[in-house]
Structure 1
């Protein structure tokens, strides 16, 4: 069963990297240009999420997984380098997850709290939130550098990373490991799910109230710009957060199962865990596709960017 997973993973991760890297770069370029009809605040969150996803692809998928499958012994496997890779990979994933939480909260405020919206949902606030998350989770993952020891020595050079035995026994490391897992992915999963439930409830209540005030309950067909604006924000929010919940659900289920059972896994349970890893890595390339589906101006910018080389060559030929 493990060999089957490895055979699939050796194909899955290179394909995922080949798709995720250009897709995230495309999303970053288009969003930075600021021609998608999105506010500066939401654009900052989306750009930060795309950058974090790109870092996850590079640090985890390319340098960790693909390197491990296709280049079993190289410079990246020297123990200090391996330890740094682990820290950077974890920090990138934490930032990717918590940027999604920050984005979900921002959209929740926009939809549900109009008075707070003008103060909180600004470009400056978004920059402070994103910078704070980045710093906190970079610092939080530094201790992981000290949890590894060399697996072997090759020409007196320490190679590979093996977890130190005291990581599983010393109280401070046990608490740190539990806190690390709660912070990512359990707490973000719960927060995003809760924000979505509260947002849906607010939209349903507000929709009924506004229909009553505008007389639509009597059959009048009046256009409501406010509800249309909220609808667009809600579609983007539910698409991104829904994708996150769906792709991380296996990983969160595995986390709960392990902590409840508290024993070694069987082969089938290990496979379930590996599938969770694959799905959570898949989440690193879904957002740009979501923008193309839900945002008409983003689709237009993608088409223009794709057509640009042909248009540029045509202009050169004319001139």
Structure 2
């Protein structure tokens, strides 16, 4: 404990204790984020490009801005006081990396807006190349915007009225530039670093949230409608009336009477749920429909069935060519929801952590002029320390935010950290089976099974000009 105000001790302990914690968490977390985003299953998403760039910029922020204060408290050496080049380059890198991190988040929000409003066009608009080009443009623009530090900042040694020498590690080169830094630059930095991103992110988040809520409501209505139609179809299968019309005339050896009962047979391997969907639309399956009067009746000729459903049942209009398969749509919705949740929380945390430091720099000059006592000076420094640590927390804790909100991110992290090896005792060789390959094998097996079912269903259709013995399988009796 020092003899001065207690705020000085709190200020020192914050830099010595909180700074290394944020450095360790930020370094490990951002490196893990980069490793997860580079996995094959995550690289398919354009969001991985922005999140990797965001993690890299956060690492630069931590190892240019935060580490400077930690080293200064530990050793008493300021990085900016080492040379003129270190002064100019360091302050430029700090401001550029902070601004770059913010605007990468803005670009990520724009990509999410397109993915929510134009899900079928976003892959054509936001390619991996365009994302990389946009990130490069952001870096160049932010470097140009903050390049004035390369001209106006340098170490300065001056003598006060009492003949004491004071050395400033990084000080404005003249009075005009000092006035610019004190009165003009804080407002420019506030607009670039906080105000404009705040407005863009707020508008973007509002649009995304409204769109996601509307999509979820519409999806619930569609699912309810499908379940209703499936229930009606299941109840109406027993009352389907089928009228037989003959394309080439009735067969020679068979002339069913008008009162003959007719049966419709589907592939016996079809599930009850799929049978119900078959009644809604034949696009879901190929029915093996037969006309017969008795079990195992032999019929011939080329026939065409016209099914007349009861008035109470109306088949819904489906535009299958404009809709993705249900499983693929569900997977895409899960990916969109996961990335959208990550983005919304990132934006909220960004606004909460960057606003205090931006406001402090605006009032810093006027506040410092009103400081007259040691206690007020200590309180001023403590406020500076707190708002800066809050700002650097934003660059350190993104990994934790990903784990909290991103279900896909958590799964990929678990797969990367806890993947199991398969060992063959004979040769002692360890073989890792990629999860992506395992999913591909499972998908291929599913597609082959569906194709086999469809081929079997087609094999049971009525051939032209031949006699056919109709099997009895999942038949539903109907009457003309």
Which blocks of at least 5 consecutive residues in structure 2 are unaligned? Answer: 1-6, 159-166, 231-325, 430-480
- CA separation of 1:33/1:232 partners in 2, compared to 1, >3 Å: closer, same or farther? closer
CA distance in 2, matches of 1:116, 1:269: 52
Q: SS in structure 2 opposite 1:188?
A: helix
CA distance in 2, matches of 1:34, 1:71: 44
The residue correspondences of 1:89-238 to structure 2 (distance < 5 A) are: 89-114=94-119, 116-152=121-157, 160-164=169-173, 165-169=175-179, 174-215=183-224, 225=330, 227-238=333-344
- CA separation of 1:242/1:177 partners in 2, compared to 1, >3 Å: closer, same or farther? closer
CA distance in 2, matches of 1:27, 1:103: 16
CA distance in 2, matches of 1:4, 1:235: 36
- CA separation of 1:318/1:119 partners in 2, compared to 1, >3 Å: closer, same or farther? closer
TM-score normalised per structure 2: 0.55
Measured against aligned partners, the alpha-carbon deviations of 1:125-151 in whole angstroms (never above 9, x if no partner) come to 211111100111112211112222323
**Residue 46 of structure 2: which of 27, 41, 48 is its match?**
41
Whether 2:354 is the aligned partner of 1:248: answer: yes
Query: What's the counterpart of residue 299 of structure 1?
Result: 410
**Residue 5 of structure 1: which of 8, 11, 34 is its match?**
11
Based on CA coordinates, which of the two structures has the bigger radius of gyration? 2
Measured against aligned partners, the alpha-carbon deviations of 1:81-113 in whole angstroms (never above 9, x if no partner) come to 122111111111111111111111211221133
Specify which structure has the higher proportion of strand: 2
The Cα shift of 1:242 comes to 2.2
Q: RMSD value over aligned CA atoms? A: 3.7
CA distance in 1, matches of 2:120, 2:415: 37
The Cα shift of 1:298 comes to 3.1
CA distance in 2, matches of 1:305, 1:204: 32
Q: SS in structure 2 opposite 1:151?
A: strand
Please, which moves more after superposition, 125-134 or 298-307? Answer: 298-307
TM-score normalised per structure 1: 0.80
CA distance in 2, matches of 1:82, 1:101: 29
Please, which moves more after superposition, 206-215 or 272-281? Answer: 206-215
- CA separation of 1:183/1:150 partners in 2, compared to 1, >3 Å: closer, same or farther? same
Which blocks of at least 5 consecutive residues in structure 1 are unaligned? Answer: none
Query: What's the counterpart of residue 392 of structure 2?
Result: 281
Query: What's the counterpart of residue 26 of structure 2?
Result: 20
CA distance in 2, matches of 1:67, 1:219: 67
- CA separation of 1:298/1:207 partners in 2, compared to 1, >3 Å: closer, same or farther? closer
CA distance in 1, matches of 2:381, 2:78: 27
Contact 1:111 1:233 in 2 (8 A): no
CA distance in 2, matches of 1:218, 1:253: 55
The Cα shift of 1:44 comes to 0.6
CA distance in 2, matches of 1:52, 1:274: 22
Contact 2:341 2:406 in 1 (8 A): no
